[in-house]
Amino acid sequence: MKVLVVEDEQKVANFLQKGLKEEQFVVDVAYDGPEGESMAMENDYDLILLDVMMPGKDGVMVLESLRANKIDTPVIMLTAKDMVVDKLKGFEAGCDDYIPKPFSFEELLARIRAVLRRRSGAGSNVLKFADLTLDLISHKVIRGGKEIELTAKEYSLMEYFMRNPNRVLTRTMITQHVWDYNFDSFTNVIDVYVNYLRNKVDRDFPQKLIHTVRGVGYILREDKKKEGDKK
């Protein structure tokens, strides 16, 4: 999943970026309100962590602008202000959750997962498709009872596929969700990583799950039984 962190305190921003990357999130960082607003408008994120007190434009104003422009990305606001009136301002502006500083990283992760579950409609921390499961907490990927070891980037790619089963994912969509803001989209890295994933997820199984949609992108789906196959 891809997260935008908008935080003017570089130490806090670096802490969040490092911790989230260790949890297999793809992370972009903006250090003031206008930059964060611009990045949120131009890119497709799964979640935004938005500080309230920032130079240029505060978090509430940024959020109001995003919602006015029909950007419905889930937003968790981070702030040293923990008065009820301040929380109400955040929720009225359209945030999905509100965490006062200081907070533990474990609590933040739990809040992030809860918001993402609500948005996706998932009822648990385990994604399932066919005989493939992905545990969002332990990061274990298992197919047919066999654990599959993935690199961090392969895991991010697999999670994106499993959150969007039976949906064609274009290379642009994959770029926006699995790679960061500075990724060179003119390389063949996406195709290379999809092939890495296929070799690990599909190679030892007769039922292939990751398919190419020629000229468009890729899709996670079960092969349809061919006529004459046994049911």
Domain regions of the chain by residue span:
2-120, 126-220
What number does CATH give the domain 2-120? 3.40.50.2300
Give CA separation, 75 vs 46, 51, 119, 191, in Å: 9, 10, 11, 31
Alpha-carbon distance 114 to 87, whole Å?
Answer: 18
111: CB partners within 8 A, 6+ apart: 76, 97, 99
Q: For the domain with range 126-220, which CATH number is right: 3.40.1350.10, 3.10.20.90, 1.10.10.10, 3.40.50.740?
A: 1.10.10.10
pLDDT tens series, the chain, 231 aa? 899 999 999 999 999 999 999 888 989 999 999 999 999 999 889 999 999 988 889 999 999 999 999 999 999 999 877 667 778 888 898 999 999 888 899 999 999 988 988 876 665 788 999 999 999 888 899 999 999 999 989 999 999 999 899 999 998 888 888 887 666 666 788 899 999 999 999 998 999 999 999 989 999 999 764 444 444
